[in-house]
Amino acid sequence: MIQQLWANFVGIFRLSIPALIAYILSPNFTLSIPGIIAISSCLALGVLYNQYALSKREADTLAYVPSPDILALLQKEVTLCGMQDRSIRFGYSYLFDQVAQSIFTTIKIDPVLWKECENDPVKIRIMEVLNTHIMPTVSQDRKIFSEKLNQNLTPMAQRFILRHELGHIAHNDSYKRIIAIAFIVFMTVFGGMATVAWLSPVLTVGPAFILGLCAATVIDLFLSALNNHFIKAAQEKKADIFAASHSSSEEVYAAADFFYKYDQALEEHLVIPQNIFNSFGLPSSYARGYYCGQERSDYLRKAAELIK
């Protein structure tokens, strides 16, 4: 827990360096309300641009594109979901603990887990690269986790997962995620600087700055937890509803069963990143950003009942 708190504190310190430089140049303006708003807004916009640029680069980096036959199967799912006008692209990418991932209008699928592409020559090439350069560095727990995922992932569950990612694209969730990050940065910087301004009449600059960093760290943790547990969870539910509305009840049941087993495997093999929320004994959904395990399985089963 101490290590994670320290990591968060150091991250906030790095973020505050421009504010510290501004204070050295103009202390009165920096700690005024207009100054705090201006600096918080500039840093938030900088993070917004940086996150967008990184996500765009990741979305555009498609080193391994499925063969035409596999692309045709994937495009059928796009048409089924009524999204043929969105110019959605597909690519292979080793995702560690995910079956598929959407970034803007790109969907990356894990060649290790994805069914129906065993004979794809592109998959064969990427598997050679993975087995030579990546797999030797992967922990045994993660390898066992991937094997269990492979065993539990049925073709029907896979189709549901693909439609779920299409739901994220339909709802523009990549853009919403970046905006949420920028908002958290704004509130974090604003809260930290406001704390320094409040304390500066009674404390010297050093102690006030350190307490401001502490306040910013707490704000960042609190807002990140709220964002993960409520906003991201709502996005995941909406994507599940989108997928369920374009799936049969059997496919939804298959997905419910898969997600329950997926969560069990995550917990069993400790693949979940350990962070401050785990250290406090809070549910892993705070860290992972969506409703998990039994809750998600029950939610999908109710959706399947409505489809019948």
Strands (DSSP E) contained in the chain are 89-92, 100-103, 106-109
Residues 83 and 166: beta-carbon distance below 8 Å: yes
pLDDT over threshold 90, residue 247: yes
Residues 123 and 79: beta-carbon distance below 8 Å: no
Rama region for 194: left / alpha / beta (φ>0; ψ in -120 to 50; rest):
alpha
Distance CA 261, CA 238 (A): 21
> In terms of residues, how long is the chain?
308
Note the pLDDT tens digit of each residue in 252-282. Answer: 999 999 998 888 887 777 655 544 444 443 4
Please compute the mean of the pLDDT values over residues 113-136 and round it to a whole number: 87
What's the pLDDT score for residue 148?
Answer: 87
pLDDT over threshold 90, residue 286: no
The rounded percent of the chain whose pLDDT value lies above 70 is 91
What's the pLDDT score for residue 277?
Answer: 43
How do strand 100-103 and strand 89-92 relate by DSSP bridges?
unpaired
Domain ranges (residues) in the chain: 1-58+139-308
What's the pLDDT score for residue 114?
Answer: 87
What's the pLDDT score for residue 291?
Answer: 63
Residues 1 and 280: beta-carbon distance below 8 Å: yes
Across the chain, what does the average pLDDT equal? 86
